[in-house]
Structure 1
Amino acid sequence: MYNEKLRGIIPPAVTTFNEDESINEELFREHLQFLLKSNIGGISIGGSTGEGHALTSEETKRLVEIGVEEVQGKVPIVAGIIRDSTREVIEYAKAAKEAGADYLMITPVHYFKPNDDAHFEFYKTISDNVDLPIIIYNVVPTAIITPECMKKLAAIENVIGIKQSGGDIHALNRMILELPKDQIIYSAVDALLYPTYALGAEGAIAAILTVLPELCVEQWEAYEQGNFEKAKEIHYKMLPTWLAMDKHNMPARTKEVLRQRGFNVGKPRSPFHPLCEEDIQEITRALKHAGIESVTERV
């Protein structure tokens, strides 16, 4: 287990599927090696970008195993878990730990509207059953973790921080101010990474990192070095790409960006589907704005 504080750029890997929607392990290894070429702080497997909602526990375990093999101890592995019962999450978490995961990243349940007590019991039970550091993934619209709730969750032994998503920079701001200093706030506000770093986020776990890892690392390092103008310049270079991704059918959009960058990462799992020509051209224009020539443009 990693003892150093997990911070910096932590891209969430996509899951590479064949035409029959089985996992293509060779392509997954190639994808991980692409991410590792940049000075990243870790890799997340099985999160939203990895279509974790559609993965079985056996598939999650296998993907983590491959991740451990590919990173060779260079960076930690964060296993994403997106399930709707405490029992299921524990099953997935135990499988991920057995496979060698260093951290867990867990969403609240997606159905109903748990109150703060239910959130606490959910994460406390998981922590009691699986001894790995837990990052709470605050992304479910019907089960939002408020700053008040997160202050309670921070008391759970294995909870080390929160990935603040959903575009709510206000909640992220309050959490940085109000949570205990040992809690880490990760940004998943893809369109506002630079401002969240300025507020105090200690890194990011977000889809834009997956498709533009080198630019995201360059931006993070520029910010860390106090080169704020450069960090802001990169922000505006990347923004159109995120705006082209942040729409319906996002798994397909993410994979299309990577395809246009020359990486075969397969199709998304059903019910997601390939993009129409208009969406493809929007991504092509966005990549050009970022200074990246797309495969589509070259053809």
Structure 2
Amino acid sequence: MAKNDAMKWDRIYTAVVVPYKEGSFEVDYDAYRKLIRYFLQPKFIDAGGGIIVNPEAGEIFYLTYEEKKKIVEIAVQEVAGKVPLFAGAIDVTTEGIVRDAITAKELGVDGIFFIPPMGSGDVTYAWNPDKYPEIWIDIFKAIDKAVNLPIIVHPTTSVSFYGVGLPVGATLKVCQAVPNIVGWKMTYSYQGWKIIAEALRTLDHHVGILAAAADLFHVALLNEHFDGTVNGALCYGMEPMIDHIQAWKKNDLLKARKIWNSGLSTLNDFVYNDYARLHIRYKIGAWLRGFVPEPFMRPPQPKPFPEEIKEMQHCLKTLGLEVISDPQIKKVLATL
């Protein structure tokens, strides 16, 4: 893939959460459609937005094949080419992962969002990516052979010096083996992000550095280790996040710093201070903004804590973002 072709996938991708009907864990497809439409407003499109459905933030590990398929169908219908659309693919077998990818391509997505394999320790917590990179590479090649679409990578692995992302040696091997990889999500600590970003810049083809942890956006933009995002925080903080990114792109440091220090940094610091609570906080934020009916994820994923709801409500209001009414919030708090 030519460099210019790959760079067109450098976008502000939102990782879309999945809404459930009130009082149940049945996917609320009407609410999902409305959430997709929210990201099709001019502010998001004009900023270079993109959409990823069925990401980890969208609880892909806990959705059935039919639910994943329906979500992609809705997204394709609503997006209709307005922004790039990628879809996650995951199953307990490579065959199942490829089936997800083929289905997504047939429905009309622009690319595939690679989710790390799940299952035995051999391919998860005990896996040594530097020693056995073929575990991932074989999956990538199977997807690539089946669909030949651009791929964005969600490179989470066991916790290490790098944070929760694939180490640099394996990262380069994967990118060299699969030229259709166009974006790499920065699921890393600051040190890991810097090392991986600098390594990606040495490749002979472009792989976009796609920011993940929003608490690191300010410094990543400063260091030019930021080509776009893959981020679930956009499901509740899109407006100030876009303004902050745009200010940096215009080299308006004073504006960028003002936005960052007027509540955006505080919100991000809270959301990202505990990765075991990250996705439930995405869901809380989306609910507080009125984008999903309730702030719950399918068990065994965690429930929200009352103090998380109250803190995020405070942070969002500090940023001047509209949130749902106090009675609506109290109704949920009474169930916790």
The TM-score with structure 1 as length reference comes to: 0.89
Using a 3 Å threshold, how does the CA distance of structure 1 residues 175 and 189 change in structure 2: closer, same or farther?
farther
Q: 2:298 aligns with which of 265, 269, 272?
A: 269
> Over residues 22-60 of structure 1, what are the superposed CA-to-partner deviations in whole Å (9 max), with x where a residue is unaligned?
211110011111222232421110111111111222222
Answer whether contact 2:19 2:28 (CA < 8 A) is retained: yes
> Over residues 143-184 of structure 1, what are the superposed CA-to-partner deviations in whole Å (9 max), with x where a residue is unaligned?
842222222222313222211213332333323432334221
> Over residues 233-286 of structure 1, what are the superposed CA-to-partner deviations in whole Å (9 max), with x where a residue is unaligned?
323332222333333343332222122223334332122354232221111221
1:48 equivalent to 2:56? Answer yes
Task: State the alpha-carbon separation in 1 of the partners of residues 285 and 31 from structure 2.
Answer: 16
1:88 equivalent in structure 2: 96
Gaps (5+ residues) in structure 2? 119-123, 329-336
1:234 equivalent to 2:242? Answer no
1:23 equivalent to 2:47? Answer no
Q: 1:51-130 counterparts in 2 under 5 A? A: 51-110=59-118, 111=124, 112-113=126-127, 114=129, 115-130=132-147
Gaps (5+ residues) in structure 1? none
1:9 equivalent in structure 2: 12
Answer whether contact 1:90 1:129 (CA < 8 A) is retained: yes
Task: State the alpha-carbon separation in 1 of the partners of residues 280 and 288 from structure 2.
Answer: 12
Task: State the alpha-carbon separation in 2 of the partners of residues 194 and 207 from structure 1.
Answer: 17
> Over residues 99-134 of structure 1, what are the superposed CA-to-partner deviations in whole Å (9 max), with x where a residue is unaligned?
211111112224231422322222122211222111
Answer whether contact 1:211 1:257 (CA < 8 A) is retained: yes
Task: State the alpha-carbon separation in 2 of the partners of residues 234 and 181 from structure 1.
Answer: 34
What amino acid is aligned across from residue 34 of structure 1 in structure 2? Y
Answer whether contact 1:13 1:49 (CA < 8 A) is retained: yes
2:332 equivalent in structure 1: none
1:215 equivalent in structure 2: 240
Larger displacement relative to structure 2 (170-179 or 215-224): 170-179
Answer whether contact 1:11 1:42 (CA < 8 A) is retained: yes
SS at match of 1:141: strand
Answer whether contact 2:31 2:292 (CA < 8 A) is retained: yes
Answer whether contact 1:211 1:254 (CA < 8 A) is retained: yes
What amino acid is aligned across from residue 136 of structure 1 in structure 2? V
